[in-house]
Amino acid sequence: MSERGNHDRGRRARPSIKAMIGGDGARPRGRAQFDLRKRLLLVTGTLGLCSLALVGRALDLQVINNEFYRQQGDARALREIPIATSRGMITDRNGEPLAVSTPVESIWGNPQELLKHPQRLPDLAKALGMPVDELTRKLSQRAGKEFLYLKRRINPDEAQEILAHKVPGVFSQREYRRFYPQGEALAHVLGFTNIDDRGQEGLELAFDDWLRGKPGAKRVIRDGAGRIVESVDLVRAAEPGGDLTLTIDRRIQFLAHRELRNALQRTGASAGSAVVVDIATGEVLAMANLPTYNPNAVASTPVDHRRNRAVTDVIEPGSTMKPLTVAAGLEAGVITPTTLFNTNPGWIANGRYRTTDHKNYGILDTTGVIQKSSNVASAVIVHKLDNRFFHDFLARFGYGRKPGSGFPGESSGVLAPPAKWSGTTKQTMSYGYGLSATPLQIAMAYAALANGGQLLPPTFVKGERKEGQQVLDPAIAAQVMAMMQTVTETGGTATQAAILGYHVAGKTGTARKFNASGGYSRRYISFFAGVVPVANPRFSMVVVVNDPDPAKGYFGGLVSAPVFKSVMEGSLRLMDVAPDDIDTWLAAQAEAEAKRLKASGAKVPAPRSTAALAPATTAVTALVTALPIPVAEVTP
């Protein structure tokens, strides 16, 4: 076959291009057909619908139904942080600050953020003044938290030095720190606060709710590093704590603290307390205790030094009970002011024991029982009294129950009911053994004697008035006060408590301390309880000196009475209390002038009579009350 024929057969066997693409309207058999344009339209439409759905969803989430996701976002960026508030100020009765809150800074960190930058921890540890391993350990223990205090209550300048290192995740916040300007002198009365500014002891604890106030709160937005980028709103405004004005007089408090400290140094005693009370109102003007502590640096103080012994510690009151024993006898009618007591031979039996006097005083009248402090005569009086009557009489004066001052931890003392008395109890109680009381209780009992027999509850808050109770007939109270006045005069046991220009009524006391075996040791507690001035009583004061060195003297008239004199001399002048013994003052001045003239060789004028001096009494009274007390005596 020719080549031409073969070529023609091949051409006839292949379909034409037009036939293949259907140009002639023919469709190939056995193959799927598609429309490219329709497919493009379908894809475009699908994408458009998806875009529309996304836009709609975004509109729904961001505009229409955005509350849920907004809350979720806020939960991750919005924070509610506290607004610190200052604690109320405590002042004395004259407005002098005793406790104030000063602004400080606290450094805190975000452990999650800090642990992301371990290379910065050495710088931070150095700035904080702590070892790196300690800082790392603290952060690791709170790795899942967002807040950790790193250093609290520091000076703002110190805080800025720490922040200057710009360690990621380290911030500061404002707080307040308590400061006590009077330091040790008022530590036991005020107490102190903890690191969270909450009262822990003393009046800081008693009035914590009033002083603390209520912290506020605000909402802020923080960025990823924990920085505040925006304050959103105020949730709750901070309410500052209320101020508190005390009955304490800062000047008298310092006098009591100073003189008590001097007494402990002079006598070698281990502890002491002093309480000064305003007789007419029951206000506590001063309350000092030793040993004491610095409330501005509590951590380094032994716990035992923080105890307010004047309120919490009970002691056997010793001979300070004798005026009450005499008052009970007068009220029961078993004795009179002129009754005579035969104390020979200086002792009286008390079961298997003896009640003895310091020496044989022989025959004493009722005044002499108090002036000479006779245990024997007190025992004779109490034997004439019914047990229940004597118990109830002492209970009326506040023994055996809390004074009601509101001070935390105040003690009620011990006054056992007659059913629990042994055969010797009543006799020993007559001169201050077999019962116990706090120095505050003794001070209030003496204030009742001076206040016409009216017992007032003590108070530490100025302006607070509590209802008193009439516990003794005013006439009997006046009789006992006159007897107590002889204690500080010639022949009494507390002449060192006498104050020139004023009549002082008081009573010494010396009680033996218990030993480990349950008996009494040769260690002592020395007391003096007194009232001044007698004509118009203003102050009641109790001084307790615990465990003075016997070799240096331990009687109350020698150890505690001088403290009373020094404190009361200053207090009378500070409070402008008029003298009630001008004649003695004038006589002392005349004697001093005569000695001066004699020493200089001048002629000593003849002494004038009291009547001749009478016209000058009023002017001298004004002069004495106006005498200023040296600044060194009233300023810490």
Q: Considering Cα of 368, then 374, then 376, then 377, what sign does the dihedral take?
A: positive
Residue entry with tokens 């024997």 = 376
d(CA 484, CA 500): 17
Question: Which one-letter DSSP state was computed for residue 251?
Answer: H
* Catalytic option among 86, 106, 273, 319: 319
Render 51-81 in DSSP notation, one character per residue: HHHHHHHHHIIIIIS-HHHHHHHHHHHEEEE
Mark 321-358 as b/e (b = at least 16 C-beta within 10 Å).
bbbbbbbbbbbeebbeeebebebeebbbebeeeebebe
Q: How far is CA 152 from the centre of its chain?
A: 22
Helices (H), 14-60: 17-20, 36-59
Distances 206 to 101, 357, 410 between C-alpha atoms, Å: 17, 44, 11
Enumerate residues 6+ apart whose C-beta is below 8 A from 246.
90, 91, 92, 93, 98, 189, 203, 460, 461, 462
The rounded distance, in Å, linking the Cα atoms of 322 and 300 is 42
| Contact (Cβ atoms closer than 8 angstroms) between residue 233 and residue 110 | no
Under the phi-then-psi rule, with left for phi > 0, alpha for psi from -120 to 50, and beta for the rest, what region is 435? beta
3-state DSSP of 371-394: HCCCHHHHHHHHHCCCHHHHHHHH
Query: Tokens 């037009």 correspond to what residue?
Result: 18
Quick check: 184 and 227 in contact, CB under 8 A?
no
- Are 622 and 580 in contact, with CB atoms under 8 Å apart? no
Please indicate whether residue 319 is annotated as part of the active site. yes
- State the chain's maximal CA–CA distance in angstroms: 187
Q: Which residues pair with 540 in a beta bridge?
A: 277, 531
Would the CA dihedral through 45, 47, 48, 52 be positive or negative? positive
Q: Which residues are catalytic?
A: 319
